[in-house]
Amino acid sequence: MSETGKPRKQIILGAYLGGVNHHTLWQLPEAGSQIDFSSFEHTARTAERGRFDFFFLAEGLALRERDGQVFDQDVIGRPDTFTVLASLAAVTEHLGLAATINATFNEPYELARQLATLDHLSGGRAAWNVVTSFDAFTGQNFRRGGFLDRSQRYERAGEAVALVRALWDSWADDAIVADQASGRFLRGPDDAGRLPGQFEHHGNQFDVRGRFTVPRSPQGHPVVLQAGVSPQGRDFAAASSDAIFSPFTRLDEAQAYYRDIQERAARLGRAPGSVKILPSGSFVLGDTQAEAEEKARWVRDQQVTGKTALILLEQIWNRDPSSYDPDGPLPDVEPDVAAPPFIQGRALLDADRVGWANRLRARAEEHGFTLRETVIDQLSRAEFVGTPQQVADRIDDFVQQDGSDGFIVGSHLVPTGLDEFVDRVVPLLQERGSLRTEYTGTTLRDNLGLAVPERRAAEPEPALA
Amino acid sequence: MSTFHLGIALDGAGWHPAAWREPDARPRDLLSAGYWLDQVRVAQEAIADLVTFEDSFAIQSTDHFAPDDRLDQVRGRLDAELIAARLAPVTEGIGLVPTVTVTHTEPFHVAKALATLDWTSRGRAGWQVRVSAGSSQAELFGRRDFLEFVAPFDIEDPAVAAHVSDTFEEAADVVEVVRRLWDSWEDDAEIRDVATQRFIDRNKVHRVDFESRFFSVRGPSITPRSPQGQPVVTSLAHSRVPYELAARSADLIFVTPFDDDDARRILGEVHDAETRVGREGEPLQVWADVVVVLDADGETGQARRARLDETAGTVWTTDTGIDAGSAAAIADRVESWRDLGYAGVRLRPATLPGDLTAIARDLAPELRRRGLARGAYDRATLRGLLGLPTDVPSRYAAA
C-alpha cells in the first residue's frame, strides 16, 4: 500500500530515443549514430533490461526547413518507423514496440496490415500512436498532397481508427483450422455469411470493401495510443485509445488532466483504468542534488546555444530574429501572425503566437531573464533532475498521486543516455514495489493491464467523430 | 568465384497448393517470426545470394483478379517488408528481398521503408516491385476506380490494354521517385561539425521534385542514405510491358520459362525491351524462375509431385516451369540456362521446409560443384554479392 492508503500503482515506463530537436546533444563526443540500427538496438535492450513496458518511436514525414532550407543545426533524418520496430522485435523479447504513425498520410487498409503484422512478428507487442496532420508542407511528399481540411482532421482520424479496428476484427480467433488430414485450412463463412477477412465499410472518409489478409494477431488489437489536449482531442482520445500522452508534468495540472480524461472515458462507458495517462520526461542524474543541478544547467547550455535560442524564438515570433541579441531582451515587436510559417515541418506547441509571446515577456520581466534565459526557462527543462533516489521518489509519487500512470523517459544522449536511468533509478522503483522485477505478461496488453477488446463481428460504426 | 546467382523464393507453406498438407509442413506457424527465420536460415545454409518474400494486398486466390471462396488452401499472410525487417538483425550474408507493391502505396513510404531495411540488414536489402491491377485491390483502398477484370478478358481490349499500360507506367514512376529519394541524401551529408553547429551539410540533402501524370513528390527523404545507397531493385515479369518496366527500372528481372526454347525466346524479348527503352549502364540481370520438387528419401521428385497434385485434386501448373527430379537433373537444367546467357536462377521450393532443405542439402552443393553457385558470403552487401557496382554515388552529388 502507498502512503495515500490506495493500492500501489505499477508504474508504466516507455523509452524514447531522442532526435530531431535541440534536446539531443549530437555534439558530445560520446553521442552515437541516429540512424545505425545499433543505436536503436542498444536503447531497446536497455529499456528491456529496465523492465520498461515499451519503446516508443516518433515520426515526422518531412525534413524540417527554415526559410526554405533544410534545417542543419539539430539532429535531422530518421528511419522508417515500422521497419525499425520490426527489426527490434528480433533483438527484444518482452518490450512493447510503439509506432507513431500518421492517420492522414497512410491508408487504413495498409496501416491495419502493418500493425497486425508487427503484432504477429513480435508475439503481441505492437502499439500504434495515432497522430494526424493536415499541413500542406508535409503533403508535398505524398500522392494525395495536403488534401485534408483542418476541420476534417478528427473525422478522418476517428474513422481511420474505427476502420483499422474493424479490419483487426475481420478474422475470428479460430479462423485458421489448418487440419492436414481433412484438407480444411479455413473455417467457412460466419453467421453473417462472411469469409475470414471479409469486410465492408462505407463512411464519409473511407468507402472500402474486400478481404483483409492478416489473420487476427496475438493482441487482437495492438495497443492504441494518442495525444489529446483540446476538448475535441480529449474526447477522441478518451473514446478510442488505450493510453494517452499527456503534456502535463506539473502535478496539479497533471492531476486535473488525469481526472478529466477518466471522467470523459467513464461517460463514454469505459471501465476505470482502461485509459492510461503518460507524460514524457527527460532526466539528469547526479550523486548529489547540487551535482545534478549543475549538470542539468550544463546540458541546458549545450542544448540552447544563442543560435538555438533565436531559432526557438523564431518559431513563436515567426520572424527572422537574426538582428536580436540572445543575451539581450525579448523582441519588442509582435509575432507575425499573417506571414506563412517561417519554419516548416515542426508542430507548433501553441497556435496563439501573440498569447505565447506575452507569457514569455511576463516571465522574462518577473525574473529579469535575457532572451536566451527565457527560452531555456520555457522550452528546455529536464523534468527530473536530482539524485537517483530523488528522481525515483518524484516519479513514484507523481504516479501514486494520480498525476499519471507512468512516464515516457528519454535522455539528451543517444544511444547510451538511458543506461544510467536503468542502472540507478529502476532498482529504486523496484525496491519500492512500484515497478516489476520480471515481466509477467506475454503481450504488451498484458503488461499494461489492458483487456483484449472483444471482437466485433458486426458492421463497424462508420465513425467515432 | 561463380558469377551465376542463386535465389530462393519463399511463399506461404511453399509454392504447391498442397504444400501445407505435407507431414513436415507447419501450416499453423505461417504467421510467426520463427517460421520465417527457420526458412531463411536454411536458405543461408544453401548460400543463396538472396531470398524473396511474396506479397500482395489481395488475399491468396485461384482467381488472379478477385478473392475466391476456397477453404482448402493457405489464406492469409503478413506484410513481406516487415517479415524481412524482422529477420534482418538475426540473419547474415543473404540478401532480403521483400515484395512491396507500388499501385496503392505511397512512394515516400516505400522509399524510406526499404532504405531502413538496408540500414537494419546492414546493406542486404532488395525490393521486388509489384503492381496491383484491377478493381478488387483498388476497392481495399477506395481511392481510385479501377477496371474490373472478369475472366476471360482480352489483353488486346483497348480498355484492358490502357489500364495495364498505365499501371506499369505508374510503377516505373514509383521506382524512379524511390531511387531519387534514396539519392536525396548524399553519402557524407551528415558532418556533425561542432565548430559551426551544423549536424548536416544542407547542400548535400536534396529535394527530388518529381512530377508525373500520376503523382508528385517533393522530397528529400527523411531517411539518410543507406549502406548500399541504392538497394537492389527486382521484378517478376511475363510479357512485353512488364519486361519494359524491368528494363527501365530494375537491376534484376525474374522470368518464367517453361523449357529451353522458351528460355531462349524470353531472353531475346528481354534484350529487345532493354533496347526499346534505351537502357544505359549495367545490363539487366536475367534470372529464370523454376518451381522445384526434389527427390527425397525414398520418394522421387516425380512421385512427390504426383502425390502433391493428387492431394490438391488437380494437376497443378503455374506461371513458370516445374522441375521434378534429382538435384543433378535440375542442375543440368540450370546449367543450360547459364549457357544461354542467364545470370541466375530463382528456385521456388514446392514445399517448405521439404524442398528448401533438399536445395540446401543436395541441389546447392551440386550447383556449386559446377560453378553455378557461390561458395561463401564473401561480400558485405547484396549489391556486392550480385556483382553490381558497390560505389554508387548519389545522382545529386556534385561531380
pLDDT digits over A39-53, tens only? 999 999 999 999 999
Determine whether A295 is exposed, middle or buried from the number of CB atoms within 10 Å of its CB (0-12, 13-18, 19+): middle
Please give the mean pLDDT across all residues of chain B. 96
Task: Test B33 with A176 for CB contact under 8 angstroms.
Answer: no
Q: B108 lies in which domain range?
A: 5-132+230-385
pLDDT at A146: 67
Residues of B in contact with A110 (CB under 8 A): 57, 104-105, 141
Contact B72, A184 (CB under 8 A): yes
Mean pLDDT of A242-269: 93
Chain A hits for B351, Cβ within 8 Å: none
Give residue A461's pLDDT.
Answer: 43
* Predicted confidence band of residue A457 (pLDDT cuts 50, 70, 90): low
Whether chain A has a CB inside 8 Å of the CB on B383: the answer is no
**Nearest CA distance, A40 vs chain B (angstrom):** 10
Asked whether residue B18 is assigned to any structural domain, the reply reads: yes
Q: Where are the beta strands (DSSP E) in B223-321?
A: 232-236, 252-255, 285-294
Asked whether the beta carbons of residue A62 and residue B222 sit closer than 8 angstroms, the reply is yes
Spell out which residues of chain A touch residue B180, defining contact as CB-CB under 8 Å: none
Q: How confident is the model at residue B322 (pLDDT cuts 50, 70, 90)?
A: very high
Q: Please identify which residue in the block is written with the cell numbers 522485477.
A: A437
d(CA B347, CA A108): 34
pLDDT in tens, B254-287: 999 999 999 999 999 999 999 999 999 999 999 9
Q: Is the CATH number of domain A12-283+387-448 3.30.559.10?
A: no
Rg (CA), chain A: 23
Q: Is the peptide bond before A415 cis (omega within 30 degrees of 0)?
A: yes
Better-predicted residue by pLDDT, B231 or B154: B231
Of A90, A141, A144, the CB nearest to B218: A141
Q: Which of residues 56-115 of B touch A (CB under 8 A)?
A: 56-59, 67, 69-79, 81-83, 85-90, 104-109, 112-113, 115
B209 touches chain A (CB under 8 A): no
- The share of chain A scoring above pLDDT 90, in percent, equals 66
Residue B335 covered by a domain: yes
Sequence-distant (6+) residues with CB within 8 A of B174 are B102, B105, B107, B110, B129
Structural domain contains residue B324: yes
Contact A213 B59 (CB under 8 A): yes
Mean pLDDT of A436-462: 83
Question: What are the strands of the beta sheet with A69-70, ordered from one edge?
Answer: A69-70, A65-66, A343-344
Tell me which residue in B25, B108, B139 faces A209 most closely, judged by beta carbons: B139
In DSSP notation, A41-79 reads: HHHHHHHHHTT-SEEEE---SS--EETTEE--SS-----
pLDDT surpasses 80 at A190: yes
Q: How confident is the model at residue B105 (pLDDT cuts 50, 70, 90)?
A: very high
Question: Are A180 and B205 within 8 A, CB to CB?
Answer: no
Q: How many CB atoms lie within 10 A of CB B258?
A: 14
The phi-psi region of residue A402 (left if phi > 0; otherwise alpha if psi is between -120 and 50; otherwise beta) is left
Whether B302 is covered by a domain: the verdict is yes
First to last CA, chain B: 33
**Residues contacting residue A283 through CB under 8 Å, at least 6 positions apart:** A382, A383, A384, A385, A391, A409, A411, A421, A425
Tell me, yes or no, whether B337 lies in a domain.
Answer: yes
Whether the predicted model's global pTM rises above the 0.90 cut: yes
Nearest to B222 among A60, A83, A110 (CB): A60
What dihedral do alpha carbons A182, A185, A189, A195 form, nearest 10°?
A: -160
Of B127 and A311, more confident: B127
Does some domain include residue B368? yes
What is the tally of structural domains in chain B?
1
State the pLDDT at residue B190: 97
Mean pLDDT across A379-401: 91
Name every chain A residue with its beta carbon within 8 A of the beta carbon of B20: 178, 180, 185
Mutation for testing the B interface, residue in A64, A171, A209, A211 having most B CBs under 10 Å = A211
C-alpha grid cell, residue B183: 539519392
Beta bridge mates, B190: B200
**CATH assignment of the domain containing B273:** 3.20.20.30
pLDDT band at A346 (very low <50, low <70, confident <90, very high): low
- Number of other residues whose CB lies within 10 A of the CB of residue B177: 24
